[in-house]
Amino acid sequence: MGLEEKFQDLQSIYMELLNDVDFDKPSFRITMYFIIFNPVFWNIVARLEYHTHFLSRFTGSARSGCYTLAGSIFLLGLGRDVYFRRALNDQPKSALLDDDRIAVAGRFLAIIGQVLVATSMWKLRITGTYLGDYFGILMDEIVTDFPFNVSSNPMYQGSTLTFIGYTLMEGKAAGLLLSFMVYSMYYFALKFEEPFTAMIYAKRDEERANRKKKVT
C-alpha cells in the first residue's frame, strides 16, 4: 500500500468518525464552553492575583485566596466532567469504536490517567496543584519523583488520558473531538503557565541570593 492510499484510508476513518458526531446537541456545546473557559479563567485570575493580590486581600490571606481559587477551579472542572459524560450519553455510538478491545484499552488509559492525576495532587497538595505560586506560596524544591519522573505535566496529561479512556469505553466519536480540545487547551495553557512559573521561582532564587550577599 502506497503512501497516498494510506493517507486516503486515514482520511476516510477521520471523516467517518466526524460524521458520527452530533454537533447540534446542547450538551456537546456546553462541554466545549467548559473546556475552553476553564483554563482561560484560572490563568486570568492567577495573573491578576500575582500583580494585584486582589483575591488575597478579599479573602484575608494568600492561603485563603489560593483555596478560594482552588474551589472555583474544582467546581468548574466538575461541571466540565459532568457535561462531558452527559454529552457522550447524548451522542450515537461509532461503528469504528464499538469494539470490546477498544473498550478495554480505554479502561486501561482511564486508570493510568486517574493515577497520574491523583498522585500529582498528593505530591503537590492544594497550593501546589492550584497555582499557589501565583499567591507567593512557593515550594521549597521541585518535585522529581513519581509521577513527575514519568510525566512532565501529570495533572494535565492524566486528565487528557482519562477523557480519552472514557471516550473509548463509551465508543463515542464525539468524545475524541472533545478530548482533543482538552489536550489543545492544556497545551496552550502551559505555554502561558510554564514561563510565568519559571519567572516566579527565578525571582525567588534571586532574592534569596541577594539576601545571602547582604548577610556575608
Q: Does 5 count as an annotated binding residue?
A: no
Dig out the grid coordinates for 146 from the structure. Answer: 513519581
Q: Does 13 count as an annotated binding residue?
A: no
Distance (Å, rounded) from C-alpha 188 to C-alpha 115?
Answer: 23
Which phi and psi angles does 136 have, rounded to 5°?
A: 85, 10
Nearest by Cα to 174 from 102, 94, 108: 94
Q: Does 44 count as an annotated binding residue?
A: no
Nearest by Cα to 29 from 41, 21, 20: 21
Amino acid at 161: L
Q: Does 4 count as an annotated binding residue?
A: no
Name the H helices within the chain.
Answer: 3-19, 26-52, 54-59, 62-89, 100-129, 154-170, 173-215
Instruction: Tell me the binding residues.
Output: 111-113, 193-194
Detail the residues annotated as belonging to a binding site for S-adenosyl-L-methionine. Answer: 111-113, 193-194
